[in-house]
Chain A
Amino acid sequence: MIPKGKLANKLKIQILAGGISHERDISLKSARRLSDALTEAGATVIIREPDANLLANIKKDKPDVVWPVLHGASGEDGALSDILALSGVPFVGASASAARLAWDKSIAKIIVERSGLQTPPSITLPKDTFRELDADGVLKAVTSSLALPLVVKPARGGSAQGVTIVKKADQLSHAMIDAYVYCDVAIIERLVVGTELAISIIDLGAGPIALPAVEVVPQTGHFGYQERYTAGETQYFVPARLTKAVAEKAAKLAIQAHEALGLRHLSRIDMIVDAKGVPWFLEANVVPGLTETSLLPQAVVAAGHSLGSVYLQLAQAALRSR
């Protein structure tokens, strides 16, 4: 149950969106959807770019709460959270230190694993590693250790940009290049085949709760950029088609990951449930997408809530956690 907030309270919310990242476009789309929902719920909303006028705009707008919807670096790497904390304005989302841990998928995997959860075996390779080592040899060793098929992804980034599923060994070199153009560190992970899930976590002040899991079934078999943002290219099942026991296990894992990483207010935990019903943690998103095809809004609606009401309560929670 979501505790009822004071919906009549007229909050002034400044949304930060855009930025210089590969996901700028998605950030702007998310911001406009968030703004629509908050406005309908009674809030006053201003959308701003996080540019040289960031602090001046906060002074000028005097928002009750700032809501950063910046995907990619500067939005999710904790830098912005640090600046917002310094400015003393309450903001929605993870603290700088928690965001830093979650933003780097390789670090998030270690933390979540240490808390007792399963995550697919992987190897993290900074680009510079290959300056001194023989790339062919390293990649052969990786393939032999992890076994095909593999997933190669940038350690930092979102929207599946730079992500490749590698089914044959000779695809690995290209996959590495595609990941390194987005980030200097790449993760090579064993591909776990199963039900792809996104579990959104919200915390309105009474502790984190898991919203119904969204099951993702992309037409092409790979939930890439195009499949994420083109209506019709992916089927979503909410709640996911899981047995009650597996669904509960997955929800528990998601909350545990959210807590292990020290996240607050909201997050989205992506995972795969294998054929034996075992959930595997893949990554945590501290600034989940809020576009019309994004996963968190679907989960909110499936839980029987209105987007505006939940978003407003999240803003109120941020105000309280000042």
Chain B
Amino acid sequence: MPNTTANNFDDWLDLYAQRANTLSVSEVRALFAVVSRPEVVSLAGGMPYVHALPKQTIEDSFKSLMRDRGDLAIQYSGGQGDAKLRDQVRELMALEGIKSSVEDIVMTTGSQHGLELLSGLFIEKGDVVLAEGPSYVGAIGIFRHYEAHIEHVETDNDGLQPEALEETIKRLKAQGRRIKFLYLVPNFANPSGVTLAAKRRARIIELCRKNHILVIEDNPYGLLYFDKKVPNALRSMDENVVYLGSFSKILAPGFRVGYVLAPPAIVQKLVLAQESAILCPSAFSQMLISEYLSKSDWQAQIETFRGVYRERRDAALSAMKEYLPKLSTTKPDGGFYLWITLPDGIDSKAMLPLAVKELVAYTPGTAFYGDGTGQNKLRVCYSFPTPENIKVGIKRLSNVINLQTELQATFGKKGTK
């Protein structure tokens, strides 16, 4: 018998940090590879409809930036970010009632990076992070990577329920658990599409203040309302709330520019952490956005986006009514997403291969929970496909759900995995 040595294609297994175990390839992620094919209607990724942007204005901004301040734009910059853009960000946040100083703003590589930096500053293994149930998949990934225990708090059509939050905090404290922060997306949440009611905001802040829990408010969609402006930001009610903002949805994600507004002590640590990790965010992207904001009627552009997404939301809801009338869905007043509840016993993750076969993609509900729940939920994103394709996609989805329901009926709900 040959004396063969095992090869596992990774000679460094004994050297990785334990948190590297939170990273592995996924069959679901692999299935998403098909969404780039034009035959597939993707209702999966939360991609903004960048075709609606004024490309000429962006091109003009690029040209004038390179002509007037090109050398600065392609140089290293400060760890806190471009001062002019931070000042413009103040104006942007003022639209949601926030008063701020440029000193308290840190520009980041997308707000995802802001959340990553905050998680690095606050989370130790086993710490509790409170999040809406369901919550943003990208945030769950970061919290998992830092080995946090993610505790979901129940939500309804008015967002996170303060009573549930109070009960959860009480229960966890009685267990001796250390809660570091509450992470929430209060406006047109990803994935649920719901908005936290104004009357609940003050109560949530009060509960967290009383229990010394940091509130992280992530607000990429707040300006993308369809009819009615969203309530003022939680940050406008309490200067201790950490606010995450982004240009990814109101402009374009390719720039990778986001920002954090935080109390001064946290800002100081964030800047040091950012300098330690990446030295500085991209000066080029920040200055280009600053130039664009100076030269364009950006508020009118956001209004254009509102019109585009309103039409697509309407197309999605109308298709739901036509093809899946028995299923319940949230009815968002802004943002990108519908959150759909499937018939009892249907597992949206298990159903995904069938959907790919039928040339439609969505995001399974379990992606939005850190505890494996959400099997009978799925997220439909209507922001990128045309209204016609949304209709085609939801029609295909209805076929898939019917096929899966038939399978489920054939084999019953009993049994185990």
Q: Is A95 an interface residue (CB 8 A)?
A: no
- Which of these, A49, A162, A238, contacts B4 with CB under 8 Å? A238
- Which of these, A182, A217, A244, contacts B353 with CB under 8 Å? A182
B residues in contact with A22, CB < 8 Å: 30-31, 34, 353, 356-357
Q: Mark A150-163, 1 if CB is under 8 A from B, else 0.
A: 00000000000110
Q: Mark A201-225, 1 if CB is under 8 A from B, else 0.
A: 0000000000000010100000001
- Residues 277 to 296 of chain B near chain A (Cβ within 8 Å): none
A residues in contact with B4, CB < 8 Å: 215, 237-241
Known: A226-B26, A229-B25, A230-B24. A298 touches B407 (CB 8 A): no
Residue contact A226 to B414, C-beta cutoff 8 Å? no
Known: A237-B4, A241-B4. A181 touches B354 (CB 8 A): yes
Residue contact A135 to B40, C-beta cutoff 8 Å? no
Q: Which one of B8-16, B52-60, B201-209 is at the A interface?
A: B8-16
Residue contact B407 to A180, C-beta cutoff 8 Å? yes
Residue contact B415 to A172, C-beta cutoff 8 Å? yes
Q: Is A316 an interface residue (CB 8 A)?
A: no
B411 (CB) vs chain A CBs: closest residue: A173
Q: Mark B393-417, 1 if CB is under 8 A from A, else 0.
A: 0000000000010011011101111
Residue contact A177 to B33, C-beta cutoff 8 Å? no
Residue contact A174 to B8, C-beta cutoff 8 Å? no
A107 to B198, CA, bound (A): 63
B residues in contact with A242, CB < 8 Å: 1-2
- Which of these, B7, B407, B412, contacts A236 with CB under 8 Å? B7
Q: Which one of A8-16, A23-31, A39-47, A253-261 is at the B interface?
A: A23-31
Q: Mark A265-308, 1 if CB is under 8 A from B, else 0.
A: 00000000000000000000000000011000010000000000
Q: Is A121 an interface residue (CB 8 A)?
A: no
Known: A28-B33, A237-B4. A226 touches B9 (CB 8 A): no
Q: Is A145 an interface residue (CB 8 A)?
A: no
A23 (CB) vs chain B CBs: closest residue: B30
Residue contact A236 to B8, C-beta cutoff 8 Å? yes
B residues in contact with A319, CB < 8 Å: none
Residue contact B1 to A171, C-beta cutoff 8 Å? no
A243 to B24, CA, bound (A): 35
B45 CB, min distance to chain A CBs, angstroms: 15
Residue contact A232 to B13, C-beta cutoff 8 Å? yes
- Residues 66 to 101 of chain B near chain A (Cβ within 8 Å): none
A residues in contact with B415, CB < 8 Å: 170-174
A182 to B354, CA, bound (A): 6
B20 (CB) vs chain A CBs: closest residue: A232
A226 to B25, CA, bound (A): 6
A196 CB, min distance to chain B CBs, angstroms: 14
Residue contact B40 to A181, C-beta cutoff 8 Å? no
Residue contact A181 to B9, C-beta cutoff 8 Å? no
Residue contact B1 to A241, C-beta cutoff 8 Å? yes
- Which of these, A20, A28, A243, contacts B40 with CB under 8 Å? A20
Known: A24-B34, A235-B6. A225 touches B410 (CB 8 A): no
B245 CB, min distance to chain A CBs, angstroms: 33
B residues in contact with A161, CB < 8 Å: 27, 353
Q: Is A168 an interface residue (CB 8 A)?
A: yes
B residues in contact with A26, CB < 8 Å: 30
Residue contact B417 to A298, C-beta cutoff 8 Å? no
Known: A20-B39, A226-B24, A241-B1. A25 touches B33 (CB 8 A): yes
Q: Is B272 an interface residue (CB 8 A)?
A: no
B residues in contact with A226, CB < 8 Å: 24-27
- Which of these, B1, B352, B357, B404, contacts A243 with CB under 8 Å? B1
A56 CB, min distance to chain B CBs, angstroms: 16
A residues in contact with B37, CB < 8 Å: 18, 20, 24, 49, 51
B residues in contact with A25, CB < 8 Å: 29-30, 33
B268 CB, min distance to chain A CBs, angstroms: 39
A residues in contact with B408, CB < 8 Å: 177
- Which of these, A131, A170, A236, contacts B414 with CB under 8 Å? A170
- Residues 358 to 417 of chain B near chain A (Cβ within 8 Å): 359, 404, 407-408, 410-412, 414-417
- Which of these, A28, A130, A235, A241, contacts B410 with CB under 8 Å? A130
A residues in contact with B410, CB < 8 Å: 130-131, 135
- Residues 139 to 187 of chain B near chain A (Cβ within 8 Å): none
Q: Is B350 an interface residue (CB 8 A)?
A: yes
Residue contact A217 to B34, C-beta cutoff 8 Å? no
Known: A217-B6, A237-B6. A181 touches B417 (CB 8 A): no
B252 CB, min distance to chain A CBs, angstroms: 26
A227 CB, min distance to chain B CBs, angstroms: 10
Q: Is B351 an interface residue (CB 8 A)?
A: yes
B residues in contact with A131, CB < 8 Å: 410
B205 CB, min distance to chain A CBs, angstroms: 41
A residues in contact with B357, CB < 8 Å: 22, 182
B residues in contact with A236, CB < 8 Å: 6-9
A8 to B7, CA, bound (A): 32
A178 CB, min distance to chain B CBs, angstroms: 6
A residues in contact with B407, CB < 8 Å: 127, 177, 180-181
B352 (CB) vs chain A CBs: closest residue: A181
Q: Mark B31-43, 1 if CB is under 8 A from A, else 0.
A: 1011001011000
Known: A20-B39, A161-B353, A162-B353. A173 touches B8 (CB 8 A): no
Q: Mark A175-194, 1 if CB is under 8 A from B, else 0.
A: 01110111000000000000
Residue contact B7 to A235, C-beta cutoff 8 Å? yes
Q: Is A234 an interface residue (CB 8 A)?
A: yes
- Which of these, B8, B30, B411, B417, contacts A135 with CB under 8 Å? B411
11 contacts between A and B (CB under 8 A): A18-B37, A21-B34, A22-B30, A26-B30, A127-B407, A161-B27, A161-B353, A225-B25, A237-B5, A237-B6, A241-B2
List chain A positions with a Cβ less than 8 A from chain B: 18, 20-26, 28, 49, 51, 127, 130-131, 135-136, 161-162, 168, 170-174, 176-178, 180-182, 215, 217, 225-226, 229-244, 292-293, 298
13 other contacts beyond A231-B10, A235-B6, A239-B2, with CB at 8 A cut-off? A20-B356, A21-B34, A22-B34, A51-B37, A127-B407, A170-B414, A174-B411, A225-B27, A226-B26, A233-B8, A233-B24, A236-B6, A236-B9
The 8 closest A-B pairs by CB, nearest first: A232-B10, A25-B33, A235-B6, A173-B411, A231-B10, A231-B9, A173-B415, A25-B30
